[in-house]
Amino acid sequence: MIKRNYTYIATIVLLFSAFWSWGQQLPQFTQYMYNTIAINPAYAGSRESLSFVGLHRSQWSGFGGGPQTLTASVHSPLRNDRIGLGMSVINDQLGYENFSYVYADFSYTIPTGDVSKLSFGIKGGVTQFRLDQEFLTDPSIVNDPFFTDISNRVSPNIGAGVYWHSYRWYIGLSSPRILNTDYNKGRGAEQEFIAAERQSYYLTGGLVIDMGTDVKFKPAFLIKATNGADPSYDTTLNFLFYEKLWLGASYRFDDSIGGIADFQITEQLRLGYAYDYPISDIRPYNSGTHEIFLLFDLKLANPKFKSPRYF
């Protein structure tokens, strides 16, 4: 019984310390360059195809209650190729906490040169915050009004972004959640734990460089800043061989290092896997993070569209 109580208390402490520090932010992804629609609405339609992305991330494998994230998105340009539409659904589970995001995206693109374009985007939707029933019915907190009061909250939000890109490079700036949401109904100052969705800002960029006839080099980066939390810095270095196989490495500052492998199964279908090895204080308690994604591009009939991009 003592061991069970100790494990329970340790789990709660880790759960809410993580929730305080970054749980309010959108989930993080190692293969962010293929899931940009989740953080920047201006990306909608930029692949010049009807694009489907599915991604699953299992963070801190072996650690009970570690984050589990599942995301699915679809986006496409319209026949008027200046307008793009998209939708993304994200489910993020952290211990007994669950965030669900359902957002629609709109983008408008203008040419800025022979090969470059500048896109402006907005997104809107809802975020649902829930606590699992297993947690709410636990005898130790079943009569605690704080937990029952904040569970199952649904709140609307909006986001915006810009995305300047060509076939070989891109740079984007976005804020996918502009409105601050307090799930404590403004009672945060009176509570030991604070549940809130805060503004986040993302700066992303990348390019493709020819290294030879059959080899390309693709560096990319992501910087994330959230009100009330430390900035996060991600960088990836990938090599493309024979337009089929991507191999690379990733680094998240003071958090993890990892490897990435993507394979272009067909012209339309790509499968990818990433592994993150933790270098932070949580390293002794887990065996790393696994991430798998599937990307499907359906070419459109509009002859103005070229083949899908590298990003």
CA distance 224 to 40: 12
CATH superfamily of 2-298: monomeric porin ompg (2.40.160.40)
Mean pLDDT of the region 287-293: 92
What are the sequence ranges of the domains in the chain? 2-298
Q: Which two tokens stand for residue 260?
A: 């990435």
Q: Work out the number of other CB atoms within 10 angstroms of the CB of residue 29.
A: 21
Please name which of 137, 138, 59 lies closest in space to residue 93, comparing C-alpha atoms: 59
In this structure, the number of other CB atoms found within 10 A of the CB of residue 283 comes to 14
| pLDDT digit string, tens, across residues 91-133 | 998 878 888 999 999 999 999 998 899 999 999 999 988 877 6
Query: Please, what sign has the CA dihedral across residues 192, 196, 199, 204?
Result: positive
- The label of the residue with tokens 């402006």 reads 120
Specify the 3-state DSSP secondary structure of 241.
strand
From the list 163, 72, 174, the residue with the least C-alpha distance to 123 is 174
Residue 223, classified by CB atoms within 10 Å of its CB into exposed (0-12), middle (13-18) or buried (19+), is middle
Answer whether 0.85 is exceeded by the pTM.
Answer: no
> What is the signed CA dihedral for 257, 255, 164, 107, rounded to 10 degrees?
110
pLDDT of residue 304: 55
Distance, in Å, from the CA atom of 165 to the CA atom of 119, rounded to the nearest integer, reads: 8
Q: Are 252 and 271 a contacting pair, CB within 8 Å?
A: no
pLDDT tens-digit series, residues 190-232: 454 455 667 889 999 999 999 988 999 999 999 999 877 788 9
List, in sequence order, the alpha helices (H) in the chain: 2-18, 133-136, 145-150
In this structure, what token pair is assigned to residue 307? 């083949």
Which two three-digit tokens encode residue 225? 């800043």
> Residue 233 pLDDT more than 80?
yes
- Fill in the amino acid letter for 23: G
